[in-house]
Amino acid sequence: MSEKVLSRSEYDAFEQRFKAQYFNSLVGPKNVCLVGTSDAEHRTNLAIFNSLVHVGSNPPLLGIIFRPDSVERHTYENILSTKEYTVNLVSEPDIAAAHQTAARYPKDQSPILP
């Protein structure tokens, strides 16, 4: 097994998309899930997450890590508003459709639901 140490300047020289893929792969494979929410007007939202972590079992606790809220985050805002959400594991045949939820859509438009 070989080891490669990257300097900051080497890492900074990588193309932005490569940096994201490289850094995201450091912790190995992760399950993806869809977090389902609705807002106060009952508009539904699904969002793909791979940052779901087990926090505890008694009481049962899960943690979700959100990106910074420097842009509109429908899932985060909906959870704060309604205090409710669902977590749904994504099966392999549904990965492409689930990935579409990562795109930016208006709050009243869903990439999966008709």
Helix (H) or strand (E) holding 76: helix 74-82
Q: Tell me the per-residue pLDDT of 36-62, one tens digit each, with 9 for 90 and over.
A: 999 999 988 899 998 888 899 899 998
pLDDT class of 112 with cuts at 50, 70, 90: low
Fold held by 29-102: Pnp Oxidase; Chain A (2.30.110)
Residues 6+ apart with CB under 8 A from 102: 47, 48
pLDDT at site 56: 92
Domain ranges of the chain: 29-102
The rounded mean pLDDT for the chain is: 87
109 or 38, which is more confident: 38
Contact 111, 100 (CB under 8 A): yes
pLDDT at site 22: 86
Residue 1 has pLDDT above 80, yes or no: no
3-class secondary-structure state, position 85: coil
Q: Tell me the per-residue pLDDT of 63-91, one tens digit each, with 9 for 90 and over.
A: 999 988 888 888 999 999 999 999 999 99
4 or 109, which is more confident: 4
Residue 107 has pLDDT above 80, yes or no: no
User: With b meaning 16 or more CB within 10 Å and e meaning fewer, what string describes 64-103?
Assistant: beeeeeeeeebbbbbbeeeeebeeeebeeeeeeebeebee
Residue 12 has pLDDT above 80, yes or no: yes
